[in-house]
Structure 1
Amino acid sequence: MKCPFCGQENTRVIDSRPVPDNNSIRRRRQCDECGKRFTTYEKIETIPLVVIKKDQSREQYDRSKIQGGVTRACYKRPISVKKIEELIDDIETEIFNKEEREIPSTLIGEIVMDKLKELDAVAYVRFASVYREFKDIDTFMDELKKMMN
């Protein structure tokens, strides 16, 4: 592993521990040349995943799209960045545990909504209003009534 400070390739691992998501390992390293320390993460390589969009086009799975949607839904809510990251990790774990090479975007959206519903009702309604493309106030109110029951 190259040192990010001096570029030397002689670095050694001084500490390793699993990350709570159980899909990666955190390694603390030290450069033999300059003595500086840095952290790396080793992640399990997963099968390439293709997302089938609503218009039947296909694109490579991109975690940042889920991250963007969840972050927007949680905007100005009392939810820590750590909780959001854990939520996204949970969503990703559920998606990859399906062991499919292709997955519909609608299924991903439903998984995200289920996880958001457990985390924060306002974030859930925000995400659902965009995802389900509420056209009018009646549709929006129907979803709110479902949440109230």
Structure 2
Amino acid sequence: MRCPFCQNEDTQVKDSRPSDDKSAIRRRRYCPACGARFTTFERVQLRELTVLKKNGRRVPFERNKLERSLDIALRKRPVELDRIERMINGIVRRLESMGESDIDSETIGKLVMEGLESLDQVAYVRYASVYRNFREASDFEKFLGKMTGVEEDEGFVED
């Protein structure tokens, strides 16, 4: 493993243990060249996944991209990191177990929406606003109306 600080290729593993959810091996490493310490994670990858974009492009699936989009949706929300990690692991496992190497981006988006709906309602709406390309405040109103069971034509009642 290459040192992220000095790029030395000869690093040493000082400690290995399973992650909290047992889905990865956490390794503490030490670089003898610069003295830096860092952590790496080793995960099982069942298959190489390719994402089919709406425009027809094919790109490799990147777990980090999924993590970043969830970080944005969950920014400043009171959700524990281990719950987020479990959700990400669950999505990746579902994608890998579908039996297909090519997964369309819409499928990934739906899985994220399902996970966020049960995890945090505000993050769910944030993610939906980007995923469904909300352009106006009325798009939020319609979405929230469907989410809460309030029909569009009923309007909002002020207290």
| TM-score by shorter chain over 0.5 | yes
Q: Which runs of 5+ in 1 are unaligned?
A: 30-37
Give the equivalent residue in structure 1 for 2:127.
127
Identity over aligned pairs, percent = 41
> What's 1:32 paired with?
none
**Structure 2 unaligned runs (5+)?**
3-7, 30-37, 150-159
SS at match of 2:115: helix
Residue in structure 2 matched with residue 67 of structure 1 by the alignment = 67
Other-structure match for 1:79: 79
Structural mapping, 1:16-31, within 5 Å: 18-19=18-19, 21-26=21-26
Matched length: 147
CA distance in 2 between partners of 1:82 and 1:129 (Å):
25
Aligned-residue CA RMSD (Å):
3.3
**Do the aligned residues in 1 keep the contact of 2:26 with 2:40 (CA within 8 Å)?**
yes
For residues 66-103 of structure 1, give each alpha carbon's deviation from its aligned partner in whole angstroms, at most 9, with x where no partner exists. 11111100111111222222221121111111121100
- Identify the residue that residue 95 of structure 1 maps to in structure 2: 95
Q: Which moved more, 1:125-134 or 1:44-53?
A: 44-53
What TM-score do the two structures reach when normalised by structure 1? 0.76
Structure 2 contact 28–40 (Cα < 8 Å) conserved: yes
Partner of 1:137: 137
Other structure's SS at 2:54 match: coil
Q: Which SS does the other structure have where 1:59 is aligned?
A: strand
